[in-house]
């Protein structure tokens, strides 16, 4: 899918030549390529790999980078077009962006093509820092050339949510508070924090996942139909929802954070969060967050959106569960329908990408007994074409300038407006402990039990 | 089929997903997850029973075999099957060694079919308290078999003490035929019962439960009269007007005798463990009638009003054995 004129230029504080960078790229490509390894394809790609070593505060190194980029224009025929992927610690942003500004690398006018930048989460750590970051990035690049990457939005199932809602007649009439009882959005990971101790301990689950992935999923679930399937139109609808998100007034009862304690997960011992390397033994950072949100619109008023995310949960799974109201009247006896739950539409974002529809059905036999059954759509079964990896899709979108799947700066800011009061409420409080390998602290179960509901087991 | 030696729960989850992908759409529906807790020496019998049950209920079967809890190094061996030896559905047989055996739920939790009810079945003697076994705590329905306990009378009583709605016992399932026959004997009769007796083995939990069931229905105490023959020889019910209804088993037939009527004879074959299990899996809600019968046997009341959810109680067998206070 890449254009013929293409070059990949690396920049890092490493004592590397082009060859070292190419070797790293080859190893990664070999391990993770979706398609069969083809040496010819690699050889062509390999000719276009270059590397510039240097640290972020080294003016000379950035001058070399700018020069190398200019040379590529002639040698590889790329007409001054370049996208920068900044995979750097948040604290380094001002330094690096100033360097790019100084050397004119970021300027569309000076390069005579387009200059785009990809920024990874976290987009700041609260509203204030996000605004500062947005202003900084938007001042160096132009606002339209900034791509905030949220790899969840690149997933096939997430994009399918829009197809499901807006290409079908079946679901949209039910997609409102008249028929929907509640929505549950879960993103669970079985892994711990890995090597990200310093970053994670300063961030926590709410900032790391809730602020971006989960709120984006909520926005796509709850938004109105866009006027057309185009970047600006979709972002406009998403921002409307994000601005309408409300926190309950009683946060004590509707926001739970937890931290994993030692336990057993998938047959292996797992350390407590506080015993992880690089984590202080009295850390109050949360590794689990569950919260009840509302969406204050005509469509959604009164429907709770339960969001949860956590590490060291039993399995890695992301899903959106739309739970419908019970039938207003059941003409059966109570015992006949005891095993009947809510009708549910579940969008499995990962793994087993697909959609499940759950409804009641009569159990075969002489008595009238109704039990839940499921209708399943599995991507792997309905389509033999394999889906592109999320990053693959998103980076291609950057190169062709399609911003549909990238949150705009005001979306980021609206999301922080939801998270900031939560963080403020939690500040200084110790999170509840849950054993590694469990579905979060029992307080999160109690939170739903108080509303007469329970979490789905994904 | 995939066999994994010295593996991790994550690898088992992956293997199951891979088998599902290659297995195709046939296997996508799971009405329930059945967790089978079984001893190594009984694996064959339990597999046979669970396979029969799996042919009647589309399920994901997770068989947990705990071995050598005192082994120094925890280890997991697993076998993932799809539409093979263990029925048409999905099955994972897991052998857990060492301390892992005490944390079996850490392996089974990620393997539960999403949002489907979980049924735990202890093939051997039931745990003293179900809360001691985390596999039971996560289950919506729990099936025990007190007839496999050393002291069956004590075990049945303990089931009542420990009861929570959602529990049932195969000793109860074994008398379904008796209950159906006796209930049908009352069809069209309007007289109430004045007295009744169950003849059989008074140490047999099924006989006890049958007497308990009749007690809870009639509202007066009904004993098991020891006759020394089969577990249940005969049930005699005397009605208020003096008429007698009796039922007795006779070489694979159930003979129902009512005064003034011809005897009715129905085939009454002994049912296999698998058939009993399949019957239990038909209802996934709490069995209120069983709770009433069990209450009548044990003299405990309010069994149906107990909370259905248990909380895991940590009990380490290694510590329990070494400390004299544990007795």
Averaged pLDDT, B130-135: 90
Q: Which of A267, A373, A384 to mutate to test the interface with B (most CBs of B within 10 A)?
A: A267
Task: Kindly provide the ipTM of the predicted complex, given to two decimals.
Answer: 0.81
Residue partners of A303: CB distance under 8 A and separation at least 6: A177, A180, A181, A182, A183, A294, A295
Say yes or no: A132 and A168 in one domain: no
Range of the domain at A261: 153-386+407-450
Say yes or no: A31 and A58 in one domain. yes
Calpha distance A219→A221 (Å, rounded): 5
Q: What is the pLDDT of residue B61?
A: 94
What's the pLDDT tens digit per position in A387-438?
A: 777 888 888 888 888 888 888 888 999 999 999 999 999 998 999 999 999 9
B240 pLDDT more than 70: yes
Read off the pLDDT of each residue in B124-143 and give the average, rounded to a whole number: 92
Structural domain includes residue A293: yes
What secondary structure letter does DSSP report for B175? T
Q: How confident is the model at residue B170 (pLDDT cuts 50, 70, 90)?
A: very high
**Cβ contact (<8 Å) for A373 and B29?**
yes
pLDDT at B27 (0 to 100): 46
A400 within a domain of the structure (yes/no): no
pLDDT at B321 over 60: no
Query: For the segment A252-301, what is each residue's pLDDT rounded down to a tens digit?
Result: 889 999 999 998 888 888 899 999 988 999 999 999 999 999 999 999 99
Looking at the predicted structure, is the pLDDT value of residue B23 above 70? no
Contact of B9 with chain A, judged by CB distance below 8 Å, is answered with yes
CB contact B308 to A (< 8 Å): no
Span A169-178, average pLDDT: 94
Whether residues A266 and B28 touch (CB distance < 8 A) is answered with no
Secondary structure of B222-257 in the HEC alphabet? CCEEECCCCCEEEEEEEECCCCEEEEEEECCEEEEE
Question: Model confidence over A356-367: pLDDT tens digits?
Answer: 999 988 888 888
CA distance B105 to B115: 16
Question: Which stretches of chain A sit within 8 Å of chain B by CB?
Answer: 190, 263-269, 314-315, 335, 338-339, 344, 346, 351-352, 356, 358, 363, 371, 373-374, 376, 378, 380-381, 437-439, 456-458
CA-based nearest residue in chain A for residue B282: A363
Q: What local confidence, expressed as pLDDT, does residue A23 receive?
A: 87
Each residue of B39-78: pLDDT tens digit?
Answer: 999 999 999 999 999 998 889 999 999 988 888 889 999 9
Mark which residues 20-39 of B lie under 8 Å from A by CB.
Answer: 20-21, 24-25, 28-29, 31
Same domain, A198 and A296: yes
Any domain includes A90? yes
Query: Is A326 within a domain?
Result: yes
Q: Which of A97, A123, A149 marks a domain boundary?
A: A149
Q: With CB atoms and an 8 Å threshold, state whether A338 touches B285.
A: yes
Same domain (yes/no): A34, A175: no
C-alpha A315: how far from chain center: 17
Residues A140 and A161 both lie in one domain:
no
Closest chain B C-alpha to A215 CA, distance in angstroms: 23
Same domain, A126 and A239: no
Do A176 and A120 lie in one domain? The reply is no
Of the residues A149, A169, A196, which one is the last residue of a structural domain? A149
| A1 within domain boundaries | no
User: Chain B partners of A266 at a C-beta cutoff of 8 Å?
Assistant: 8-10, 12-13, 106-107, 110
| pLDDT of res. A142 | 85
Residues A341 and A235 in one domain: yes
Specify if A402 maps to a domain: no
pTM over 0.90: no
Contact flag B28-A314 (C-beta cutoff 8 Å): no
Tens of pLDDT along B185-222? 887 777 788 899 999 999 999 999 999 999 999 999 99
Tokens 């489907």 sit at which residue?
A: B116
Report the mean per-residue pLDDT for chain A.
88
Range with lowest mean pLDDT among A55-69, A217-231, B306-320: B306-320
Q: Which residues of A are catalytic?
A: 213
CA dist A99 and A133 (Å) reads 15
> Would you place residue A28 in the very low, low, confident or very high pLDDT band (cuts 50, 70, 90)?
confident
Distance from CA of A342 to the nearest CA of B (A): 11
The residue among A189, A261, A264 with the most chain B CBs within 10 A of its CB, best to mutate, is: A264
**Cβ(A158)–Cβ(A220) below 8 Å:** yes
Check whether B323 has a pLDDT greater than 60.
no
CB contact under 8 A, A378 and B28: yes
Query: d(Cα B72, Cα B75) in Å, to the nearest integer?
Result: 9
| Residue A169 shares a structural domain with residue A105 | no
The Cα of B82 is separated from the nearest Cα of chain A by a number of Å equal to 17
User: Does residue A102 sit within a domain?
Assistant: yes
Contact list, A268 vs chain B (CB under 8 Å): 8-9, 106
CA–CA separation, B25 and A38 (whole Å) = 32
pLDDT band at B322 (very low <50, low <70, confident <90, very high): very low
- Tell me what the mean pLDDT of segment B242-247 comes to: 89
Q: Say whether A266 and B9 touch across the interface (CB within 8 A).
A: yes
Question: At A263, which CATH number?
Answer: 3.30.360.10
Judge if A262 and A221 occupy the same domain: yes
Q: Indicate the residue among A149, A166, A197 that finishes a domain.
A: A149
Task: Tell me the count of A-B CB pairs closer than 8 A.
Answer: 79
Count structural domains, chain A: 2
Domain co-membership, A113 together with A44: yes
A16-22: average pLDDT:
81
Decide: helix, strand or coil at residue B166: coil
The domain spanning residue A136 has which CATH number? 3.40.50.720
Do A21 and A163 lie in one domain? The reply is no
Residue predicted with more confidence, A380 or B125: B125
Q: Which residues of B touch A377 (CB under 8 A)?
A: none
Residue A165 lies in a domain: yes
Q: How confident is the model at residue B143 (pLDDT cuts 50, 70, 90)?
A: very high
């Amino acid at each position: 899918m890449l254009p013929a004129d293409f070059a990949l230029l690396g920049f890092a504080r490493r004592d590397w030549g082009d060859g070292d960078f190419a070797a790293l790229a080859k190893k990664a490509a070999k391990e993770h390529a979706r398609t069969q390894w083809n040496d010819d394809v690699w050889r062509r790609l390999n000719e276009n790999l270059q590397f510039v070593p240097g640290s972020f505060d080294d003016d000379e190194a950035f001058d070399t980078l700018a020069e190398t980029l200019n040379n590529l224009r002639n040698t590889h025929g790329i007409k001054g077009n370049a996208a920068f992927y900044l995979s750097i610690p948040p604290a380094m942003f001002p330094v690096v962006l100033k360097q790019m500004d100084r050397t004119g690398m970021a300027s569309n006018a000076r390069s005579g093509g387009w200059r785009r930048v990809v920024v990874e989460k976290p987009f700041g750590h609260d509203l204030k820092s996000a605004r500062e970051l947005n202003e900084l990035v938007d001042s160096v690049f132009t606002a339209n050339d900034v791509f905030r990457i949220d790899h969840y939005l690149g997933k096939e199932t997430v994009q399918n949510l829009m197809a499901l809602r807006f290409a079908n007649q079946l679901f949209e009439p039910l997609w409102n508070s008249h028929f929907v009882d509640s929505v549950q959005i879960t993103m669970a990971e079985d892994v711990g924090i890995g090597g990200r101790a310093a970053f994670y301990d300063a961030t926590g689950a709410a900032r790391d996942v809730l602020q971006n992935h989960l709120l984006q999923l909520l926005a796509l679930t709850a938004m109105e139909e866009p006027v057309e399937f185009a970047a600006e139109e979709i972002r406009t609808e998403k921002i409307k929802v994000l601005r309408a998100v409300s926190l309950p007034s009683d946060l004590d009862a509707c926001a739970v954070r937890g931290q994993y304690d030692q336990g057993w997960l998938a047959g292996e011992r797992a350390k407590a969060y506080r015993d992880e390397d690089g984590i202080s033994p009295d850390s109050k950072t949360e590794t689990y967050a569950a919260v009840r949100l509302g969406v204050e619109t005509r469509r959604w008023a009164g429907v709770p959106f339960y969001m949860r995310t956590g590490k060291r949960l039993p399995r890695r799974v992301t899903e959106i569960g739309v739970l419908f109201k019970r039938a207003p009247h059941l003409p059966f006896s109570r015992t006949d329908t005891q095993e009947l739950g809510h009708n549910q539409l579940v969008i499995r974002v990962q793994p087993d990408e697909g959609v499940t529809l759950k409804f009641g059905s009569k159990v075969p036999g002489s008595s009238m007994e109704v039990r839940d059954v499921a209708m399943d759509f599995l991507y792997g079964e309905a389509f033999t074409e394999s889906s592109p990896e999320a990053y693959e899709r998103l980076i291609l979108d950057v190169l062709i300038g399609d911003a549909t799947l990238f949150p705009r700066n005001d979306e980021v800011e609206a999301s922080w407006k939801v998270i900031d009061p939560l963080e403020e409420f939690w500040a200084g409080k110790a999170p509840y402990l849950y054993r590694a390998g469990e579905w979060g602290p029992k307080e999160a179960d109690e939170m739903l039990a108080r509303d007469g509901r329970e979490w789905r087991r994904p | 089929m995939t066999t994994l030696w010295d593996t991790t729960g994550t690898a088992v989850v992956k293997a199951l997903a891979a088998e599902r992908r290659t297995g195709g759409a046939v296997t996508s529906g799971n009405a329930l997850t059945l967790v089978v807790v079984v001893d190594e020496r009984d694996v064959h019998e339990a597999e046979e029973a669970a396979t029969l049950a799996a042919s009647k209920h589309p399920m994901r079967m997770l068989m947990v075999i705990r071995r050598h809890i005192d082994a120094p190094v925890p280890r997991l061996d697993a076998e993932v099957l799809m539409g093979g030896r263990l029925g048409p559905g999905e099955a994972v047989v897991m052998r857990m060694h060492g301390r892992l055996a005490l944390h079996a739920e850490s392996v089974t939790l990620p393997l539960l079919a999403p949002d489907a009810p979980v049924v735990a079945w202890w093939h051997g003697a039931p745990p003293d308290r179900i809360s001691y076994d985390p596999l039971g705590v996560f289950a919506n329905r729990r099936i025990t078999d007190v007839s496999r306990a050393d002291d069956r009378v004590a075990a049945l009583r303990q089931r009542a003490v420990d009861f929570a709605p959602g529990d049932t016992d195969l000793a109860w399932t074994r008398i379904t035929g008796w209950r159906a026959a006796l209930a049908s004997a009352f069809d069209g009769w309007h007289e109430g019962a004045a007295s009744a007796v169950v003849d059989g083995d008074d140490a047999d939990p099924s006989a006890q439960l049958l007497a308990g069931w009749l007690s809870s229905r009639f509202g007066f105490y009904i004993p098991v009269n020891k006759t020394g023959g089969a577990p249940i020889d005969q049930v005699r019910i005397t009605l208020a007007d003096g008429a007698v209804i009796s039922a007795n088993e006779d070489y694979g037939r159930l003979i129902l005798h009512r005064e003034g009527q011809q005897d009715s004879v129905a085939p009454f074959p002994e049912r296999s463990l698998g058939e009993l299990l399949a019957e239990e899996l038909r209802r996934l809600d709490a069995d209120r009638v069983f709770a009433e019968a069990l209450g009548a046997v044990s003299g405990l009341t309010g069994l149906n009003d107990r909370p259905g959810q248990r909380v895991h109680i940590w009990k380490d067998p290694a510590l329990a054995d070494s400390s004299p206070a544990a007795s």
